Amino acid sequence: TAPHRKVPVTDSVMVARKPKVIVTRKLPDQVETRMRELFDAELNLSDEPMSRDALLDAVKRADVLAPTITDRIDADLIAQAGPQLKLIASFGAGVDHIDVAAASARNISVTNTPGVLTEDTADMTLALIMVVARRIVEGANVVQSGGFTGWSPTWMLGRRVTGKRLGIVGMGRIGQAVARRAKAFGLQIHYHNRKPVSPRIAEELDATYWDSLDQMMARMDLVSIHCPHTPATFHLLSARRLKLLQPHAILINTARGEIVDEDALIDILAKGGIAGAGLDVFEHEPAVNPKLLKLPNVVLLPHMSSATVESRVDMGEKVIINIRTWMDGHRPPDRVIPAML
Ligand code: 8YV
């Protein structure tokens, strides 16, 4: 068994006990087992999402809270946290469910789990590109429902992907992983980002930088979103910007629903303003706008881009490493600070 650890020296009170870690959702067995070995861990074996009251109780008792995107860790909740709460070690890359500034103001560190879901999310993005452009779900449904009665040269025609232009919004780890795959599929890579990537990466990806998102949107065959959801990116793809897309364009979103004005997107899709969309995330998730369900030219997934056995274990490992590093009095490797957002 692991030795009992001290809480960080930076916390002035030195208590030789395992920290109380409250985990809000069910995690992979091996992650939970390790957490029980290392921490005074309270697990959520039923996986029932925590109510507001349960979360309030958790922040009053836990030294470390390990939440996920299904928990709203807002300023009000943080204000009611007990003085013992020192770390919010989130299971996930996005931190838009946590008020990082409010946590920071109370000296509560926030960590996330970047890097380990990059490749899976990029895989799913390429899958969505192919699925929408080549009408794969539609075709599968035809066969599944017994409707395949014969081939025809002009039936089930999709659009060629090779040779088209892909505009990536947000060229961080995931955006670059998408670009690498997309290049292998013969797509021409374009991107909009706060700043250009390094010359080495730009050259490797043969990527064209657009400082103007408007300019890029108007020229792309496919647009895929890979930026975080922050106040600055809320409705970044506004009604006005979505109208800049060409009628044959396809929009892919595996990032966050809030980045796209979903009502405007539905309107444009319904009017044939763009050709289709592949969405793994929704603005009011888990609620999905019923109008989206009626559209023939969309493929909708239940926020599963990072959902692989491997990524969930790796994410859990990262949560553990962040907590352990903090316990040892060091800065956790995946600390998120307000200035980063
Ligand atoms: C995860 C995600 O499923 O990590 C993220 O930001 O959106 C998802 O891929 C989720 O965070 C798990 O908490």
296 C-alpha to center of ligand 1: Å? 27
- Give the 3-state DSSP-derived string for the chain, with helices as H, strands as E and coil as C: CCCCCECCHHHCCCCECCCEEEECCCCCHHHHHHHHHHCEEECCCCCCCCCHHHHHHHHHHCCEEECCCCCCECHHHHHCCCCCCCEEECCCCCCCCECHHHHHHCCCEEECCCCCCHHHHHHHHHHHHHHHHCCHHHHHHHHHCCCCCCCCCCCCCCCCCCCCEEEEECCCHHHHHHHHHHHHCCCEEEEECCCCCCHHHHHHHCCEEECCHHHHHHHCCEEEECCCCCCCCCCCECHHHHCCCCCCCEEEECCCHHHECHHHHHHHHHCCCCCEEEECCCCCCCCCCHHHHHCCCEEECCCCCCCCHHHHHHHHHHHHHHHHHHHCCCCCCCECCHHHC
51 C-alpha to center of ligand 1: Å? 19
Pocket lining for ligand 1, CB < 6 angstroms:
68-69, 91-94, 117, 305-306
Atom of ligand 1 nearest to the CA of 256: 7
**Catalytic positions:** 256, 285, 303
335 C-alpha to center of ligand 1: Å? 16
Each residue's pLDDT expressed in tens, for the chain with a length of 341 residues: 344 555 554 554 455 689 999 999 999 999 999 999 999 999 999 999 999 999 999 999 999 999 999 999 999 999 999 999 999 999 999 999 999 999 999 999 999 999 999 999 999 999 999 999 999 999 999 999 999 999 999 999 999 999 999 999 999 999 999 999 999 999 999 999 999 999 999 999 999 999 999 999 999 999 999 999 999 999 999 999 999 999 999 999 999 999 999 999 999 999 999 999 999 999 999 999 999 999 999 999 999 999 999 999 999 999 999 999 999 999 999 999 998 77
Atom of ligand 1 nearest to the CA of 121: 9
Instruction: Pick the residue whose CA is nearest to atom 1 on ligand 1.
Output: 92
